[in-house]
């Protein structure tokens, strides 16, 4: 279906240029100008009709995702590739390009498969009042909703993937972290202890003098039924954090970049386990999940980064 709102931005720019040439340089006759305008409008409508039907509430995202790079999403939150090729056509691998994160949502499970988000010092701040958990309004109406009470009495916490505290600086983005698409059933032991300890440590690294920007991706794999049945809890929760010097471009990632990867079991009794005892490699997470993480990077660099444990760069 063609929607005017989908008209690519390049068409507006070309039209503006045509009118500027006409006004200032008189390069074009009226008839040439008319044909040029008609051509651009037709091309824009054609491109609009073929644009991928991807949810976005970020103005500079997805104007034109190149068709030959289905693997990439134009968002600061997911610079290293779309690990499951999430898109518009699979309800269980459904791409949501949000302002504060990028999500692969799984309608069957009632949770995300993975969420990617960047945390910089500007995202942090003093604690703000907790908003209510709510249904994600960006999901298509045909999806089966998940509500707050689907977690009630399930023995699982409402575990944030993007931590609320990673978005204290911006009320709107903080509210987004309370959408149920950002929530996963986690045992209280996992959610409140090792998982939370890692989140806090990442924020300390982001906040520090000479600190970092953190490019994070987290998700769950494996299936455990929950009491009410709407939700599937993961057997494991994983997270990968790329730490780049503050202000560096995401593309500056290299073989010496510090990367933290963890794979934590979603079980009781791990309150006292330090998060670092769950350290693993990106490659091990790829093997468990079937995803291709860092897929936008050259294969050689992926092999280097994905097969080693965390190293602390200077
Ligand atoms: Mn990979």
| pLDDT, position 60 | 39
pLDDT at 229: 83
Predicted local confidence at residue 77, as pLDDT: 98
The answer to whether the predicted template modeling score (pTM) of the entire model surpasses 0.85 is: no
**Ligand 1 geometric centre to CA of 298 (Å):** 9
* pLDDT at residue 38 in the model: 59
Q: Rounded to an integer, what distance in angstroms lies between the CA atom of residue 109 and that of residue 136?
A: 15
- Residue 99's CB is within 10 A of a number of other CB atoms, namely 16
* Token output for 11: 């068409």
**Can you tell me which residue has the tokens 């037709």?**
42
Ligand 1 centroid, distance to 312 Cα (angstroms): 21
β-pair partners for 160 = 183
Torsion of CA 129, 135, 139, 142, to 10 degrees: -170
Confidence at residue 13, expressed as pLDDT on a 0 to 100 scale: 46
Residue 156 · residue 227 · CB < 8 Å: no
Active site residues: 160
pLDDT, tens only, 285-309: 999 999 999 999 999 999 999 999 9
Q: Which fold has domain 55-306?
A: Extracellular Endonuclease; Chain A (3.40.570)
Q: Which two tokens stand for residue 9?
A: 């931005």
User: 132, exposed or middle or buried, with CB in 10 Å at 0-12, 13-18, 19+?
Assistant: exposed
The structure tokens listed for 300 are 């050689």
Provide the percentage of residues in the chain whose pLDDT is more than 70: 77
| Centroid of ligand 1 to alpha carbon of 274 (angstroms) | 27
Residue 197, phi then psi, degrees to nearest 5: -60, -40
CA distance 281 to 240: 9
Separation of 186 CA from ligand 1 center, angstroms?
Answer: 26
Q: Determine contact, residues 257/268, Cβ cutoff 8 Å.
A: no
Over residues 125-155, the pLDDT tens digits come to: 999 999 999 999 999 999 999 999 999 999 9
Do 146 and 152 contact (CB within 8 A), yes or no? Answer: no
Q: What angle do CA 284, 289, 295 make, to 5 degrees?
A: 80
Q: Do residues 164 and 154 make contact, with C-beta atoms less than 8 angstroms apart?
A: no
The confidence score (pLDDT) of residue 42 equals 57
Q: How far is the CA of 8 from the centre of ligand 1 (A)?
A: 31
**41 burial via Cβ count (<10 Å: 0-12, 13-18, 19+):** middle
What pLDDT is stored for residue 228 in this prediction?
A: 85
Ranges of residues in the chain whose predicted pLDDT is under 70: 1-70, 313-314
Q: Which residues of 247-282 are buried (b: 16+ CB within 10 A; e: fewer)?
A: eeebeebeeebbbbbbbbbbeeebeebebeebebbb
Domain layout of the chain by residue ranges: 4-50, 55-306
């Amino acid at each position: 279906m063609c929607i005017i709102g989908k008209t690519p931005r390049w068409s507006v720019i070309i039209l503006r240029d045509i009118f500027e040439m006409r006004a200032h340089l008189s390069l074009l006759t009226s008839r040439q100008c008319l044909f040029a305008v008609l051509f651009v409008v037709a091309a824009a409508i054609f491109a609009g009709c073929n644009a991928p039907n991807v949810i976005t509430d970020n103005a500079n995202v997805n104007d034109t995702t190149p068709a030959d790079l289905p693997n990439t999403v134009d968002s600061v939150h997911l610079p290293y590739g779309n690990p499951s090729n999430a898109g518009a056509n699979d309800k269980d691998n459904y791409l949501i390009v949000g302002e504060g994160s990028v999500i692969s949502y799984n309608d069957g499970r009632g949770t995300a498969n993975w969420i990617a988000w960047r945390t910089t010092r500007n995202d942090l701040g003093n604690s703000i009042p907790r908003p209510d958990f709510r249904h994600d309004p960006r999901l298509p109406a045909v999806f089966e909703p998940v509500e707050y009470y689907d977690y009630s009495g399930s023995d699982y916490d409402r575990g944030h993937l993007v931590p609320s505290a990673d978005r204290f600086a911006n009320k709107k983005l903080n509210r987004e972290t309370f959408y149920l698409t950002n929530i996963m059933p986690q045992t209280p032991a996992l959610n409140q202890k090792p998982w939370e300890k890692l989140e806090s440590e990442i924020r300390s690294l982001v906040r520090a003098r000479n600190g970092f920007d953190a490019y994070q991706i987290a998700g769950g794999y494996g299936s455990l039924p929950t009491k009410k049945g709407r939700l599937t809890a993961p057997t494991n929760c994983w997270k990968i954090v790329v730490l780049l010097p503050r202000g560096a471009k995401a593309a500056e990632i290299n073989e010496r970049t510090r990367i933290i990867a963890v794979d934590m079991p979603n079980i009781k009794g791990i309150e006292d386990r330090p998060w670092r005892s769950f350290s693993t490699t990106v490659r091990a997470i790829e093997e468990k999940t079937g995803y291709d993480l860092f897929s936008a990077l050259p294969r050689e660099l992926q092999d280097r980064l994905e097969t080693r444990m965390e190293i602390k760069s200077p």
